[in-house]
Amino acid sequence: MPTLTTLALFAAATLALLLVPGPAVLYIVTRSVAQGRAAGLVSVLGVHTGSLVHIAAAAFGITALLAASATAFAVVKYLGAAYLLYLGIRKLMRRTEVEEAEVKVASPRRLFGEGFVVNVLNPKTAMFYLAFLPQFVDPARGPVAPQVLVLGAVWVVLGMASDGTYALLASVLAGRLRSSARARRRLDWGSGVVYLGLGAVAALATEGAKKL
Protein backbone atom coordinates (compact mmCIF):
# COMPACT_ATOMS: atom_id res chain seq x y z
CA MET A 1 0.00 0.00 0.00
CA PRO A 2 1.18 3.60 -0.57
CA THR A 3 2.95 5.32 2.33
CA LEU A 4 1.42 8.34 4.06
CA THR A 5 4.06 10.53 2.41
CA THR A 6 3.13 9.20 -1.02
CA LEU A 7 -0.56 9.72 -0.33
CA ALA A 8 0.11 13.31 0.79
CA LEU A 9 2.11 14.07 -2.36
CA PHE A 10 -0.54 12.45 -4.50
CA ALA A 11 -3.31 14.43 -2.80
CA ALA A 12 -1.43 17.70 -3.34
CA ALA A 13 -0.81 16.93 -7.02
CA THR A 14 -4.43 15.85 -7.46
CA LEU A 15 -5.80 19.06 -5.94
CA ALA A 16 -3.55 21.15 -8.17
CA LEU A 17 -4.98 19.38 -11.22
CA LEU A 18 -8.60 19.40 -10.06
CA LEU A 19 -8.66 23.11 -9.24
CA VAL A 20 -7.92 23.94 -12.89
CA PRO A 21 -11.31 23.71 -14.68
CA GLY A 22 -11.36 21.06 -17.37
CA PRO A 23 -14.06 19.47 -19.58
CA ALA A 24 -15.75 17.67 -16.67
CA VAL A 25 -15.94 20.87 -14.62
CA LEU A 26 -17.43 22.75 -17.58
CA TYR A 27 -20.05 20.04 -17.95
CA ILE A 28 -20.93 20.16 -14.25
CA VAL A 29 -21.07 23.96 -14.14
CA THR A 30 -23.32 24.04 -17.20
CA ARG A 31 -25.73 21.59 -15.58
CA SER A 32 -25.70 23.50 -12.29
CA VAL A 33 -26.47 26.82 -13.94
CA ALA A 34 -29.19 25.33 -16.15
CA GLN A 35 -30.98 23.21 -13.56
CA GLY A 36 -29.71 24.15 -10.12
CA ARG A 37 -27.67 22.70 -7.30
CA ALA A 38 -29.19 19.21 -7.19
CA ALA A 39 -28.62 18.68 -10.92
CA GLY A 40 -25.01 19.77 -10.58
CA LEU A 41 -24.37 17.43 -7.67
CA VAL A 42 -26.00 14.48 -9.45
CA SER A 43 -23.79 15.26 -12.46
CA VAL A 44 -20.75 15.25 -10.15
CA LEU A 45 -21.76 11.80 -8.92
CA GLY A 46 -22.18 10.52 -12.47
CA VAL A 47 -18.85 11.93 -13.63
CA HIS A 48 -16.94 10.36 -10.75
CA THR A 49 -18.70 7.04 -11.06
CA GLY A 50 -17.22 7.12 -14.55
CA SER A 51 -13.86 7.85 -12.92
CA LEU A 52 -14.15 4.57 -11.01
CA VAL A 53 -14.35 2.71 -14.31
CA HIS A 54 -11.14 4.32 -15.56
CA ILE A 55 -9.39 3.66 -12.25
CA ALA A 56 -10.36 0.00 -12.28
CA ALA A 57 -9.22 -0.24 -15.89
CA ALA A 58 -5.86 1.32 -15.02
CA ALA A 59 -5.47 -0.99 -12.02
CA PHE A 60 -6.09 -4.19 -13.93
CA GLY A 61 -4.40 -3.34 -17.19
CA ILE A 62 -7.43 -2.70 -19.38
CA THR A 63 -6.40 0.89 -20.02
CA ALA A 64 -2.92 -0.32 -21.00
CA LEU A 65 -4.54 -2.62 -23.56
CA LEU A 66 -6.58 0.32 -24.87
CA ALA A 67 -3.43 2.42 -25.23
CA ALA A 68 -1.67 -0.37 -27.11
CA SER A 69 -4.52 -0.97 -29.57
CA ALA A 70 -5.07 1.73 -32.15
CA THR A 71 -8.37 0.15 -33.19
CA ALA A 72 -9.78 -0.04 -29.65
CA PHE A 73 -8.64 3.51 -28.96
CA ALA A 74 -10.28 4.79 -32.14
CA VAL A 75 -13.56 2.99 -31.40
CA VAL A 76 -13.83 4.45 -27.88
CA LYS A 77 -12.65 7.86 -29.05
CA TYR A 78 -15.21 8.22 -31.80
CA LEU A 79 -18.09 6.71 -29.83
CA GLY A 80 -17.48 9.27 -27.11
CA ALA A 81 -17.05 12.11 -29.60
CA ALA A 82 -20.23 11.16 -31.49
CA TYR A 83 -22.30 11.07 -28.32
CA LEU A 84 -21.04 14.43 -27.09
CA LEU A 85 -21.50 16.07 -30.47
CA TYR A 86 -25.04 14.69 -30.59
CA LEU A 87 -25.80 16.27 -27.20
CA GLY A 88 -24.36 19.59 -28.37
CA ILE A 89 -26.31 19.68 -31.63
CA ARG A 90 -29.52 18.72 -29.83
CA LYS A 91 -29.05 21.60 -27.40
CA LEU A 92 -28.26 24.14 -30.14
CA MET A 93 -31.32 23.13 -32.18
CA ARG A 94 -33.76 23.06 -29.29
CA ARG A 95 -36.47 25.71 -29.38
CA THR A 96 -37.03 27.76 -26.26
CA GLU A 97 -40.65 27.94 -25.15
CA VAL A 98 -41.99 31.42 -24.55
CA GLU A 99 -44.44 30.42 -21.84
CA GLU A 100 -43.77 31.28 -18.25
CA ALA A 101 -43.93 27.60 -17.33
CA GLU A 102 -41.06 25.93 -15.56
CA VAL A 103 -38.18 24.90 -17.80
CA LYS A 104 -38.19 21.22 -18.67
CA VAL A 105 -35.42 19.53 -16.74
CA ALA A 106 -33.71 16.20 -17.08
CA SER A 107 -34.41 13.52 -14.49
CA PRO A 108 -31.73 12.65 -11.88
CA ARG A 109 -31.25 9.29 -13.61
CA ARG A 110 -30.58 10.99 -16.93
CA LEU A 111 -28.27 13.55 -15.35
CA PHE A 112 -26.32 10.78 -13.65
CA GLY A 113 -26.17 8.73 -16.86
CA GLU A 114 -24.98 11.63 -19.00
CA GLY A 115 -22.28 12.55 -16.48
CA PHE A 116 -21.15 8.93 -16.38
CA VAL A 117 -21.05 8.58 -20.17
CA VAL A 118 -19.33 11.95 -20.66
CA ASN A 119 -16.46 10.76 -18.46
CA VAL A 120 -16.24 7.05 -19.21
CA LEU A 121 -16.25 7.52 -23.01
CA ASN A 122 -13.47 10.09 -22.94
CA PRO A 123 -10.27 8.24 -23.93
CA LYS A 124 -8.10 11.17 -22.83
CA THR A 125 -9.33 10.54 -19.30
CA ALA A 126 -8.26 6.90 -19.59
CA MET A 127 -4.85 7.95 -20.88
CA PHE A 128 -4.53 10.48 -18.07
CA TYR A 129 -5.06 7.88 -15.37
CA LEU A 130 -2.64 5.53 -17.11
CA ALA A 131 0.03 8.26 -17.15
CA PHE A 132 -0.62 9.85 -13.74
CA LEU A 133 -1.44 7.10 -11.23
CA PRO A 134 1.61 4.85 -11.82
CA GLN A 135 3.93 7.72 -10.88
CA PHE A 136 2.89 7.20 -7.25
CA VAL A 137 3.05 3.40 -7.28
CA ASP A 138 5.98 1.54 -5.72
CA PRO A 139 6.17 -2.13 -6.80
CA ALA A 140 8.42 -2.81 -3.83
CA ARG A 141 5.48 -2.20 -1.51
CA GLY A 142 3.37 -5.01 -2.93
CA PRO A 143 0.93 -5.64 -5.78
CA VAL A 144 0.38 -2.66 -8.05
CA ALA A 145 -3.40 -3.00 -8.53
CA PRO A 146 -4.35 -2.35 -4.86
CA GLN A 147 -2.06 0.69 -4.77
CA VAL A 148 -3.69 2.12 -7.89
CA LEU A 149 -7.14 1.50 -6.42
CA VAL A 150 -6.23 3.34 -3.21
CA LEU A 151 -4.82 6.28 -5.16
CA GLY A 152 -7.89 6.25 -7.36
CA ALA A 153 -10.17 6.37 -4.33
CA VAL A 154 -8.29 9.45 -3.07
CA TRP A 155 -8.70 11.04 -6.52
CA VAL A 156 -12.46 10.41 -6.53
CA VAL A 157 -13.00 11.79 -3.02
CA LEU A 158 -11.02 14.95 -3.77
CA GLY A 159 -12.63 15.22 -7.20
CA MET A 160 -16.14 15.06 -5.78
CA ALA A 161 -15.25 17.72 -3.21
CA SER A 162 -13.70 20.02 -5.82
CA ASP A 163 -16.34 19.53 -8.51
CA GLY A 164 -19.11 19.70 -5.90
CA THR A 165 -17.82 23.12 -4.90
CA TYR A 166 -17.96 24.25 -8.52
CA ALA A 167 -21.52 22.92 -8.77
CA LEU A 168 -22.64 24.78 -5.64
CA LEU A 169 -21.08 28.05 -6.76
CA ALA A 170 -22.55 27.77 -10.25
CA SER A 171 -26.02 27.00 -8.92
CA VAL A 172 -26.15 30.45 -7.30
CA LEU A 173 -26.63 31.87 -10.81
CA ALA A 174 -29.35 29.41 -11.77
CA GLY A 175 -32.43 31.38 -10.73
CA ARG A 176 -31.22 34.59 -12.29
CA LEU A 177 -30.36 33.01 -15.62
CA ARG A 178 -33.58 30.98 -15.84
CA SER A 179 -35.78 34.05 -15.33
CA SER A 180 -36.33 34.83 -19.03
CA ALA A 181 -36.73 33.03 -22.34
CA ARG A 182 -33.66 34.83 -23.68
CA ALA A 183 -31.57 33.66 -20.73
CA ARG A 184 -32.83 30.09 -21.16
CA ARG A 185 -31.90 30.20 -24.84
CA ARG A 186 -28.43 31.40 -23.93
CA LEU A 187 -28.16 28.53 -21.47
CA ASP A 188 -29.05 26.09 -24.23
CA TRP A 189 -26.46 27.63 -26.52
CA GLY A 190 -23.89 27.57 -23.73
CA SER A 191 -24.69 23.93 -22.98
CA GLY A 192 -24.49 23.07 -26.66
CA VAL A 193 -21.10 24.73 -27.04
CA VAL A 194 -19.79 22.88 -23.96
CA TYR A 195 -20.98 19.54 -25.31
CA LEU A 196 -19.49 20.26 -28.72
CA GLY A 197 -16.24 21.25 -27.04
CA LEU A 198 -16.22 18.00 -25.08
CA GLY A 199 -16.88 16.11 -28.29
CA ALA A 200 -14.02 17.90 -30.01
CA VAL A 201 -11.67 17.09 -27.11
CA ALA A 202 -12.59 13.41 -27.39
CA ALA A 203 -12.29 13.37 -31.19
CA LEU A 204 -8.88 15.03 -31.14
CA ALA A 205 -7.48 12.85 -28.33
CA THR A 206 -4.22 11.16 -29.17
CA GLU A 207 -2.63 8.00 -27.86
CA GLY A 208 0.18 10.04 -26.37
CA ALA A 209 -2.07 12.30 -24.29
CA LYS A 210 -0.71 12.71 -20.79
CA LYS A 211 -3.21 15.02 -19.17
CA LEU A 212 -6.82 16.21 -19.42
For residue 25, the SS3 value is: helix
Residue 135 domain-assigned (yes or no):
yes
Give the pLDDT confidence score for residue 195 in this predicted structure.
67
- Rounded alpha-carbon distances, angstroms, from residue 112 to 20, 28, 31, 71: 23, 11, 11, 29
Give the pLDDT confidence score for residue 116 in this predicted structure.
93
The count of domains in the chain is 1
Residue 50 domain-assigned (yes or no):
yes
Give the pLDDT confidence score for residue 155 in this predicted structure.
93
Residue 93 domain-assigned (yes or no):
yes
Give the pLDDT confidence score for residue 99 in this predicted structure.
40
Amino acid at 78: Y
Residue 210 domain-assigned (yes or no):
no
**Domain assignment of residue 97, given as a range:** 4-15+23-203
- The terminus-to-terminus CA distance of the chain in angstroms comes to 26
Alpha carbons 21 and 17: distance in angstroms, whole number:
8
Q: In tens digits, what is the pLDDT along the chain, a chain of 212 residues?
A: 788 888 998 898 888 878 766 778 878 888 888 788 899 999 999 999 999 999 998 888 756 765 677 676 667 667 767 877 887 787 777 654 444 434 456 788 889 998 998 888 877 687 778 778 877 888 778 788 888 899 999 999 999 999 999 899 888 876 665 555 565 566 567 667 766 776 676 566 544 443 44
